Amino acid sequence: MSDTYVGSIDQGTTGTRFIVFDSDGGVVSQAYEKHEQIYPEPGWVEHDPMEIWENTKLVVNEALDNGGIDASQLEAIGVTNQRETTIIWDKETGKPVHNALVWQDRRTTDRVEEIQDESTDTLSVEEIRDKTGLECDAYFSATKTEWILDNADPIKLQRS
């Protein structure tokens, strides 16, 4: 019987890493690739989702090759990601409709303040907190998703 391993994809803010562990938890092999930080305006941070996808495939293959490991020897792969980074994909093409809005991105701060100022019986920061357990903040994905839906290419959004 051949050795088996566990892999871990760590998709972080500045890059993507793949680590292969043996049955004792020891690191057998790993690979890392940085990705571009895009700053279209002050306070805005984006990533190219396709660059991240390509880098993920690259580091997985590189770590497996460097460790002399066949993909069939992986028993499991765990994934960590960038918290509240937000992407919407086109359901027909599988391509993103916009760059990823990174967890650090603050472009929706004005929208959050608007929600806080206009709290009504139908939408309030208290209701948001009660339902989600979270504060109303531009860090979270709800206002990022709204921004993408309001600003991305309408043709792409029709297919999402």
Beta bridge partners of 76: 6
Q: Which residue has the higher pLDDT, 108 or 131?
A: 108
State which H helix or E strand residue 132 sits in: helix 125-132
Tokens encoding 92: 């027909």
Model confidence, pTM: 0.85
Give the tens place of pLDDT for each residue, 37-60: 999 999 999 999 999 999 999 999
DSSP-assigned letters across all residues of 34-52: E---B-SSTT--EE-HHHH
Count other Cβ atoms within 10 Å, centred on residue 146: 13
What separation in angstroms does the CA of 44 have from each of 24, 57, 81, 124? 42, 27, 19, 26
User: Which contacts qualify for 88-93: CB closer than 8 Å, 24 or more apart?
Assistant: 88/145, 88/148, 88/149, 88/152, 88/157, 88/160, 89/160, 90/156, 90/159, 90/160, 91/159, 91/160, 92/159, 93/159
Cβ within 8 Å of residue 145, ≥6 positions away? 86, 88
- pLDDT > 70 fraction of the chain, expressed in percent and rounded: 91
What is the rounded average pLDDT of the residues 18-25? 97
pLDDT at 31 over 60: yes
Determine the Cα–Cα distance for residues 35 and 44; give it in Å rounded to an integer: 16
**% of the chain surpassing 90 pLDDT:** 72
**Backbone phi and psi for residue 133, each to the nearest 5 degrees, phi listed first:** 80, 10
Q: Which pLDDT value is given to residue 157?
A: 60
For the chain, give the mean pLDDT: 91
Q: Length of the chain, please?
A: 160
Which two structure tokens, joined as six digits, stand for 28?
Answer: 């057998």
Residue ranges per structural domain of the chain: 1-105, 108-154
User: Which carries the bigger pLDDT value, residue 17 or residue 153?
Assistant: 17
Residue 1, pLDDT above cutoff 60: no
DSSP 160: -
> What CATH number should be reported for the domain whose range is 1-105?
3.30.420.40
123 against 118, higher pLDDT: 118
pLDDT one-digit tens code per residue, 72-99: 999 999 999 988 999 999 888 889 999 9
Location of structure tokens 């890493």:
17
